[in-house]
Structure 1
Amino acid sequence: MRALLVANPAATTTTAKVRDVLVRALSSDLKVDVAETTHRGHAHELGAQATADGVDVVVTLGGDGTVNETVNGMLADGPGAHVPTLAVVPGGSTNVVARALGRSRDPVEATAEILDSLRAGRTRRISLGTASARVATETDIAWGPGWTAPRYFVFSAGLGFDADVIRRVEEQRARGRRSTGGLYVRAGTRAFLLGPDRRRPSMTLHVPGRAPVEHLFLCLVANVNPWTYLGDRPISPSPEAGFDGGLATFAMGRVGPVRMLATLRATMSDRPHTSGRRVHREHDLAELEVTSSRPQEWQLDGDHLGPATALRVRGVPAALDVVV
C-alpha cells in the first residue's frame, strides 16, 4: 500500500525528530514517501499530486490548516473512488480534525492507532462542507463583487467575530507569539469589547425555506462537535453537528459581556446547551448563506481568509474516506 506523508515543519508541535519516528513506524506497513510543505498552498499541491499518482493513503502531520489544504488538493476534481484515504496525525496547537476522528493527542500514539486501523480495515466515509465568499476588496469596489471558488472545509466555516479573532491571533503569531489558549482568549476579549460588530450587528442568516435571521455579529457553521477546543476543554456551540449529518449553525445577535460569558460557559459545560432570545441554532442543513452590510472577516477550518460581504455554504455528503 502506497502512502504519502505530508508534514508541515512549521506546525506548532511538529519536529524533525517526531517526523522521522513516524516515518519509521509507517514504513513497517506502508511504502511511504515524505513531503514537507515549504509555503502556503503547498499541501494543496501535494494532495492533488497524490490523487493524480494513485496513492492509497495520505497522512498529514501538522495542524488543521495542513489538513484543510491537503483535503482540498485531494478533492480538486471532486469526490470519488480515485481519491486516497486520509489519515490525520496531530501536529498543531488545537488539532480539531484529529480529535474528531478519535486520534490520540500524542503523534506517536496516533500513528500506532492509524496502523492498527489500516490493518483492520477501519475506515469511514465522512461528509464535508464547501464555502464560497463574496470577497470585499478595492478591486471588487471597482469591478463589482466577485465570489471565490468553492473550497472544502472539514470542521468549520465562519463569518464575523470568530474569523476576526483568528485574524488577530495570526497577526500575533506572525510577530513570534506562540499559539496558546490564552492568546485566543485575549484576542477574543479585545475583538468583543473593542470591535464594532456586537454593537452594530450587520449580518443576516439565510436558510432556504425559513425566515432570514437579521442583526447578527457571529455565525459559526460546524461539521463536527466539538467545534473547537480551549486547551483541553471542548467548546460545543452545536452539539448536533457530526460527520454523518448536515451542517449546523450557531449565530448570535447583539449581546453584552455578561450574556456572552454565560453563553461561552454553556458551550464549555459537560452538557452543552445554549439558548436565548439572541441565540440562533440550526442543524442538519444542506445549505445556507450569510450576508453582511459591511465587510467581515471569514475563515475555514481555523484559517483566516480575509474580508468578505457574504458566505455561501453547502454540505457535501459522503465526500471522503478517512482512517478511524
Structure 2
Amino acid sequence: MKLFIFIVNQKAGNGKGLRVWNKLKQELEKKKIDYRSFFTKYPNHAAELARQIGSMFEDKVEAVIAVGGDGTINEVVNGMVYYPEIKVGYIPAGSGNDFSRGFNVPKSPLDALTFIVRNKASKGKWFDIGKCKIRGKSNSSYFVSSLGTGFDAAVSKLTNESKMKKYLNKIHMGSIAYVGALIRLLFTYRLTNVSLHIDGKDYQYENVWFVTVSNQPFYGGGMKIAPKANPKDGFFDITVVHNLSRVKLLFVFVTVFFGAHTKFEEIAQHKGANIKVESDEKILVHADGELIGQTPIQVEVQHRKLSFMVK
C-alpha cells in the first residue's frame, strides 16, 4: 500500500504549522491512514526532503504533501519537479496562503486533508509551474504562484525580516506586516529602468516599481495582482508598475486587492511563456515570496509539469 508523505514546516505562521500538524496527526491515526512525516529544520530543507523522498520512495508514495505556507509549497515544488509522476498536496498553515487561493485548496487544514485522502485514487490536476534562471547561478529556481522583481521583492525581504510579523501572525493579522514594510520602503525605494523580452518582443519601461510574473491571480497575502492568470494555459501574466508617484502607488495597492488596479495607465500587462528581465540597476527577485537573487533573469513556463491534489 502506498504512503502519504508529509513535509511539515512547524515554524510556518509563527508556530501554526506545528499546531496544524498535531491536529492532522490525530486525524490520520484515527482513520488508520498509512503515512510518514518529515520536519524541516532550515531554509530549503523541504526541497531537499522532497527530492530525497522522490528518489527513495518513488513507487511507494501516494502523494507528497506540504504542511506550511507559500514558502513551504515552493520548496516542495522545487524538489518534486524532478519526480513529476508523484502527486503534490498542500495543507495551509502559513500566513499568506496565496497558493490556497489560486489553486482552490480548502481553507481548513482538516478539510484539505479530507479532500486529499478521499481523492487518493485520482491522478490529480496538472498545472504549469515557472522556471527561473539567474545569471551566475548554476541551478534554476522554480515557482508555482508568482515571481516578482523590484519593490515587491524588497517588501517581501523586509516583511520576512520583521520582528513584528510573528506577533501579528499570532492574532491572524500577518498581512499587516506586509503593509507596514510596504509603507517603510515607499519613501526610500529607488526606481530603475527595466527591459523585458517576452516571446520574441522587446519592451522598455522607465521608473519601474516592480514587475510580477504570475501563474495564478494572487500574491502578497491575497492581492489580486493578475486577475486573469490561469495556471493551465501555458502562459504567464506579466504586470509592470511604472511611472507612478509614491502617493499613487499606495492607492494602487489598495485597489489591487480587488483586481481594479489594471485600469491605471501606469500598469502595463502582457502574456508570455518566455520572459527575460533586465534592469539598469540590479533589483531583488522573489519566487513565491522567497528571495532567490537579483536581475537579470530568464523565466519560462513548464507547461503542466506537476500534478496537484486540489479541487
Structure 2 length-normalised TM: 0.88
Separation (CA, whole Å) in 1 of partners of 2:288 and 2:281: 23
Contact 1:25 1:112 in 2 (8 A): no
Equivalent in the alignment of 1:137: none
Q: How much has 1:226 moved relative to structure 2?
A: 2.2
Contact 1:159 1:311 in 2 (8 A): no
Equivalent in the alignment of 2:100: 98
Equivalent in the alignment of 1:219: 211
> What do residues 106-159 of structure 1 show as CA deviations (whole Å, max 9, x unaligned)?
21222122223335x27211110011223xxxxxxxxxxx24521110001111
Structure 1 length-normalised TM: 0.85
Q: How much has 1:86 moved relative to structure 2?
A: 0.6
Equivalent in the alignment of 1:154: 144
Equivalent in the alignment of 1:187: 181
> What do residues 56-101 of structure 1 show as CA deviations (whole Å, max 9, x unaligned)?
20011111111111111112x3x643xx101100010011112322
Please tell me the residue identity of whatever aligns with 2:118. Answer: D
- Structure 1's 56 and 113: CA in aligned 2 closer, same or farther, altered over 3 A? closer
Separation (CA, whole Å) in 2 of partners of 1:169 and 1:177: 12
Further displaced range: 206-215 or 31-40: 206-215
- Structure 1's 172 and 31: CA in aligned 2 closer, same or farther, altered over 3 A? same
> What do residues 175-209 of structure 1 show as CA deviations (whole Å, max 9, x unaligned)?
96545111111111121222122xxx232222133
For residue 33 of structure 1, the aligned residue among 24, 33, 36 is 36
Q: How much has 1:273 moved relative to structure 2?
A: 5.1
The secondary structure found in structure 2 opposite 1:212 is strand
Equivalent in the alignment of 1:65: 71
- Structure 1's 18 and 74: CA in aligned 2 closer, same or farther, altered over 3 A? same
Equivalent in the alignment of 1:295: 282
Equivalent in the alignment of 1:318: 304
Q: How much has 1:45 moved relative to structure 2?
A: 1.4
Contact 1:8 1:14 in 2 (8 A): no
The 5 A counterparts of 1:254-269 are 254-269=243-258
Contact 1:124 1:321 in 2 (8 A): yes
Please tell me the residue identity of whatever aligns with 1:129. Answer: G
Please tell me the residue identity of whatever aligns with 2:179. Answer: V
Please tell me the residue identity of whatever aligns with 1:42. Answer: H
The secondary structure found in structure 2 opposite 1:182 is helix
Identity value in percent: 24
Q: Is the helix fraction higher in 1 or 2?
A: 2
Equivalent in the alignment of 1:204: 195
Contact 1:23 1:32 in 2 (8 A): no
RMSD: 2.2
Q: Which runs of 5+ in 2 are unaligned?
A: none
Further displaced range: 85-94 or 165-174: 165-174
Q: How much has 1:274 moved relative to structure 2?
A: 0.9
